[in-house]
């Protein structure tokens, strides 16, 4: 099992075992010390790893079975519907619908199919999550897909996984396209979310729920 909690890192550095392998170590505000599962050949490698690992330790997290976490593809790779992101946090659509904060997960709309793949029930059955009875199911579904960034690739990162900067740059460029901004504005409006008015666009966070 992999257990990580919301913690504030106050100090981070390196440590070595008897075999001379290096590990990253972080001390939390609570006094607890976390040591990385990965080991490294050199101190420099640890320092590089620390740049994103300590950041990860303070982010929303959950207890996941190791096989579930192992199934998650690399940051920026095509979504394989592993479900990890929605087990750990709720996207902006989920937060809006279930009136909950992003963390802790899992999202109530996360569903698993017979093949073991995960999906978003808001996309599958949008009418079950809206009062807008006059809006067509297809329109609601497409709007939900827009809001969860379906098809954008995996933007979740776990266990100190490095950032795929090229992927982030592609997402940023896509987000700036007028057609994309307008599609998102309409989607927000359809689901009754802030930013969907004609007054302007409020961008959401990084919650990519590409499955569905
Ligand atoms: S976006 Fe979510 S469901 Fe898709 S691969 Fe990444 S963690 Fe898994
Ligand atoms: S994509 Fe769907 S299942 Fe995942 S957090 Fe968002 S609303 Fe919930």
Q: Which residues contact 203 (CB under 8 A, 6 or more apart)?
A: 175, 195
- pLDDT tens for 162-206 read 889 999 999 999 999 999 999 999 999 999 997 654 433 333 333
- pLDDT tens for 23-33 read 988 886 667 67
69, exposed or middle or buried, with CB in 10 Å at 0-12, 13-18, 19+? middle
Determine, yes or no, domain membership for 211. Answer: no
Looking at the fold, whether 52 and 78 belong to one and the same domain comes out as no
**Cα separations (Å) of 99 from 54, 91, 107?**
29, 11, 11
Pocket test for ligand 2, best of 99, 122, 191 (most atoms within 8 A of CB): 122
Looking at the fold, whether 20 and 98 belong to one and the same domain comes out as no
Determine, yes or no, domain membership for 2. Answer: no
Looking at the fold, whether 93 and 129 belong to one and the same domain comes out as yes
What total of structural domains would you count in the chain? 2
Residue 155 CA to ligand 1 center (angstroms) comes to 7
pTM for this predicted structure: 0.71
Determine, yes or no, domain membership for 44. Answer: yes
Q: Which atom of ligand 1 is nearest to the CA of 210?
A: 1
Residue 138 CA to ligand 1 center (angstroms) comes to 23
- pLDDT tens for 71-121 read 999 999 999 999 999 998 899 999 999 999 888 889 999 999 999 999 999
Q: Residue 42 sits in which domain range?
A: 9-57
Q: State yes or no: cis peptide before 27, omega within 30 of 0.
A: no
Alpha-carbon torsion angle 118, 121, 100, 67, nearest 10: -10
Q: Which atom of ligand 1 is nearest to the CA of 83?
A: 3
Give me the mean pLDDT over the 2-20 stretch. Answer: 69
Tokens 């802790």 — which residue?
Answer: 104
Residue 110 CA to ligand 2 center (angstroms) comes to 6
What CATH number did the domain enclosing 13 receive? Answer: 3.30.160
Residue 127 CA to ligand 2 center (angstroms) comes to 15
Looking at the fold, whether 144 and 43 belong to one and the same domain comes out as no
Determine, yes or no, domain membership for 198. Answer: no
Question: What is the rounded average pLDDT for all residues in the chain?
Answer: 82
Looking at the fold, whether 104 and 145 belong to one and the same domain comes out as yes
Looking at the fold, whether 137 and 101 belong to one and the same domain comes out as yes
Looking at the fold, whether 93 and 149 belong to one and the same domain comes out as yes
Looking at the fold, whether 40 and 89 belong to one and the same domain comes out as no
Looking at the fold, whether 48 and 80 belong to one and the same domain comes out as no
Length of the chain: 212
Looking at the fold, whether 46 and 126 belong to one and the same domain comes out as no
Tokens of 119: 């999906």
Determine, yes or no, domain membership for 27. Answer: yes
Question: Which residues contact ligand 2 via a Cβ below 6 A?
Answer: 86, 90-91, 93-94, 107, 109-110, 120, 122, 148, 209
Q: Which residues contact 131 (CB under 8 A, 6 or more apart)?
A: none
Tell me the pLDDT band of 50, cut-offs 50, 70 and 90. Answer: confident
114, exposed or middle or buried, with CB in 10 Å at 0-12, 13-18, 19+? exposed
The residue contributing the CA closest to ligand 1 atom 4 is 79
**Which-ligand-closest: CA of 156?**
1
């Amino acid at each position: 099992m992999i257990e990580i909690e919301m913690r504030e890192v106050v100090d981070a550095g390196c440590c070595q075992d008897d075999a001379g392998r290096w590990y990253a170590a972080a001390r939390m505000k609570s006094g607890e010390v976390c040591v990385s599962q990965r080991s490294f050949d050199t101190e420099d490698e640890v320092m590089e790893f620390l740049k994103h690992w300590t950041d990860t330790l303070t982010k929303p997290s959950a207890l996941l079975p190791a096989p579930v976490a192992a199934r998650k593809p690399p940051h920026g790779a095509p979504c394989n519907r592993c479900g990890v992101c929605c087990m750990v946090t709720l996207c902006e659509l989920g937060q809006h619908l279930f009136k909950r904060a992003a963390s802790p997960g899992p999202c109530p709309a996360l569903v698993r199919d017979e093949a073991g793949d995960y999906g978003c029930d808001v996309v599958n059955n949008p009418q079950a999550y809206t009062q807008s009875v006059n809006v067509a199911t297809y329109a609601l579904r497409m709007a939900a897909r827009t809001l969860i960034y379906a098809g954008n690739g995996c933007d979740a990162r776990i266990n100190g996984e490095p950032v795929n900067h090229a992927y982030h740059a592609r997402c940023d460029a896509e987000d700036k396209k007028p057609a994309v901004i307008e599609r998102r504005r309409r989607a927000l409006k359809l689901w009754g979310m802030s930013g969907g008015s004609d007054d302007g666009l409020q961008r959401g966070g990084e919650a990519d729920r590409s499955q569905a």
